[in-house]
Amino acid sequence: MKYKTLTHYLVEQQREHQSIDPELRLLLEIVARACKSIGHAVGKGALGGVLGSLGSENVQGEIQKKLDVLSNDILLEANEWGGHLAGMASEEMTTIHRIPNRYPKGEYLLLFDPLDGSSNIDVNVSIGTIFSVLKAPAGAEGRDIEEADFLQPGSRQVAAGYAIYGPQTMLVLTTGNGVASFTLDREMGAWCLTGENIRIPEDTKEFAINMSNMRHWAPEMRRYIEDCLAGQDGPLGKNYNMRWIASMVSDVHRIMNRGGVFMYPWDAREPEKAGKLRLMYEANPMSMLIEQAGGASIDGTQRILDIQPEALHQRVSVMLGSKNEIARIAEYHQQ
């Protein structure tokens, strides 16, 4: 069976749907090639000397794994010379990365979490890369890009996606015209279209959350989970299953394929922070993908894509997945 390649798919999006322009198409192809390189490094594991930590901390105060830094470097080096970008930002870096003066500059901004699920690296559990593309604001031409230029609500994203490095290496992508998935043919080295117009079931009996933190959640979050655990005889009238991989990419990928909800709520141990996940690098791109697949994504009461960012590394509570179950969770928070 012959599959469309990623390039074929993107050219169709450009010609038939006018959802992207040639510069964005080329940018997405470069990001996909970088993800292919990261996937190769992940696949080598101990053979490539990439397991373990460096002993350093990133801007979030988290211990950096060797693969975190390697993946970050791969994405920076792959994208800075192409002429499609005005700047980049990464979860692993304190501030933005400006395109060096020796390279031409473009009109797009790239944000990424180079390796999501770092705690799973050394135990061979699926991990991934998340990315988001914005347009540089009007008036940014002819000057150095600034952090403020990146602080746009997720509704302004022009593309978003993730790569998942598991039994198959896959790329899941949206350019605002639905969600498509591509599987890496390792023999050919090509991303092949294996899923198109992905839709998330509106109802579900499955949730993903770190139950060990339940005692730290707000009352409304605890009440919802308690009602889920009450099963068929409880107020929700159905038996739920729980899944938790501790890799947002992996949990969201499962939801993309069979529905469910993923939740990372506010935690009383860091009450001054709205949540754990990063708005710009994780919540926004995943929310765009979820909504494009017919799901919903909120911080409890507000649509995540409507949040106006105030800082590059801003954190947020995240509840996303099957549309009707997210509406139910919102009701608990409103009450």
Residues annotated within the binding site for substrate are 116-119, 210, 276
Residue 207 above 80 pLDDT? yes
Give residue 248's pLDDT: 96
Residues annotated within the binding site for Mg(2+) are 91, 113, 115-116, 282
Give residue 62's pLDDT: 65
Task: Quickly state the pLDDT bin for 54 (edges 50, 70, 90).
Answer: low
Residues annotated within the binding site are 91, 113, 115-119, 210, 276, 282
Which pLDDT tens digit goes with each residue over 234-270?
999 999 999 999 999 999 999 999 999 999 999 999 9
At residue 221, the 3 state secondary structure works out as: helix
Share of the chain above pLDDT 90, in %: 82
Which pLDDT tens digit goes with each residue over 216-233?
999 999 999 999 999 999
In this structure, CATH architecture of domain 206-334: 3-Layer(aba) Sandwich (3.40)
CATH 3.40.190.80, the chain: domain bounds:
206-334
CA distance 154 to 304: 7
CATH 3.30.540.10, the chain: domain bounds:
6-195
Which pLDDT tens digit goes with each residue over 145-194?
999 999 999 999 999 999 999 999 999 999 999 999 999 999 989 999 99
Which superfamily, per CATH, for 6-195? Fructose-1,6-Bisphosphatase, subunit A, domain 1 (3.30.540.10)
Choice between 207 and 3, residue whose per-residue pLDDT is larger: 207
CA distance 97 to 296: 31
Say if CB 321 and CB 260 are below 8 A apart. Answer: yes
Say if CB 133 and CB 24 are below 8 A apart. Answer: yes
Residue 121 above 90 pLDDT? no
